[in-house]
């Protein structure tokens, strides 16, 4: 058995269970923070600056995030105010918000863009909850895919005789626990968001 050949063959895999678990945990944490970011952009009846996170205004031909063009504030629960640093961009910013498919109707007075957050209709709430469930399922699937990859990496360690069968079983249990916890966290974040959507002020 040539050592250099073994090293080359093992290069894309992991050297230990610890590495596999660490990598899986990092990916699952990333899945949760990605979900958190996505949930922040789903509208509730309350004004929140994260609603405008995905809005890009055409700044001299470059799609630019609003927070790079203006100061955004929430002076009252159902209002976002966007104050452009360059007043000549006010029309561009207003147009970007209007065409972002968020159901918002901004208006400008020449100095700032006011974005009233309308109360959600019953039908709109149902649509948002449906969309929310779709987003949650997408992230649950991501967590399960991470579990599958991690389990395959553990099996490879066993096959390459780098770990014992006991270690293999322990690692699978650990990865399952990690997956359960991640899915539990995803469900909890979803419940909190659903409550916000359905809450009538």
- Report which of 19, 29, 34, 70 is spatially closest to residue 49, judged by C-alpha positions: 70
Cα separation, 80 vs 138, whole angstroms: 30
Q: Does 1 have pLDDT greater than 60?
A: no
Global pTM?
0.74
Cα separation, 52 vs 108, whole angstroms: 16
Predicted pLDDT at 201: 58
Predicted pLDDT at 63: 94
User: DSSP assignment, residue 68?
Assistant: G
Residues 82 and 115: beta-carbon distance below 8 Å: yes
For the chain, what is the mean pLDDT? 89
Give percent above pLDDT 90 in the chain.
73
Q: Three-state DSSP class for 118?
A: coil
Backbone dihedral region for residue 61 (phi beyond 0: left; psi -120 to 50: alpha; all else: beta): left
Residues 93 and 58: beta-carbon distance below 8 Å: no
- Across residues 45-69, what is the average pLDDT? 90
Predicted pLDDT at 13: 56
Tens of pLDDT, residues 7-51: 333 334 578 999 999 999 999 999 999 999 899 888 887 888 888
CA dihedral for 131, 92, 82, 67, sign (positive or negative): positive
Tens of pLDDT, residues 85-127: 999 999 999 999 999 888 889 999 999 999 998 888 899 899 9
């Amino acid at each position: 058995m040539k050592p250099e050949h073994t090293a080359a063959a093992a290069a894309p895999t992991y050297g230990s269970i610890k590495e596999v678990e660490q990598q899986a945990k990092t990916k699952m944490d990333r899945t949760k923070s990605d979900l958190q970011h996505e949930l922040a952009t789903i509208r509730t009846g309350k004004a929140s600056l994260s609603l405008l996170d995905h809005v890009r205004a055409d700044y001299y031909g470059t799609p630019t995030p609003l927070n790079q063009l203006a100061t955004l504030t929430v002076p009252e629960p159902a209002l976002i105010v966007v104050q452009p640093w360059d007043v000549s961009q006010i029309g561009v910013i207003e147009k970007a918000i209007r065409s972002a498919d968020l159901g918002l109707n901004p208006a400008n007075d020449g100095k700032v863009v006011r974005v009233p957050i309308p109360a959600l209709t019953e039908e709109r709430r149902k649509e948002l909850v449906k969309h929310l469930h779709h987003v949650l399922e997408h992230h649950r699937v991501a967590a399960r895919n991470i579990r599958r990859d991690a389990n395959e990496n553990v099996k490879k360690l066993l096959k390459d005789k780098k770990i014992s069968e006991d270690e293999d079983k322990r690692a699978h249990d650990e990865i399952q626990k990690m997956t359960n916890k991640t899915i539990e966290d995803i469900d909890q974040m979803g419940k909190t968001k659903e409550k916000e959507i359905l809450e009538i002020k």
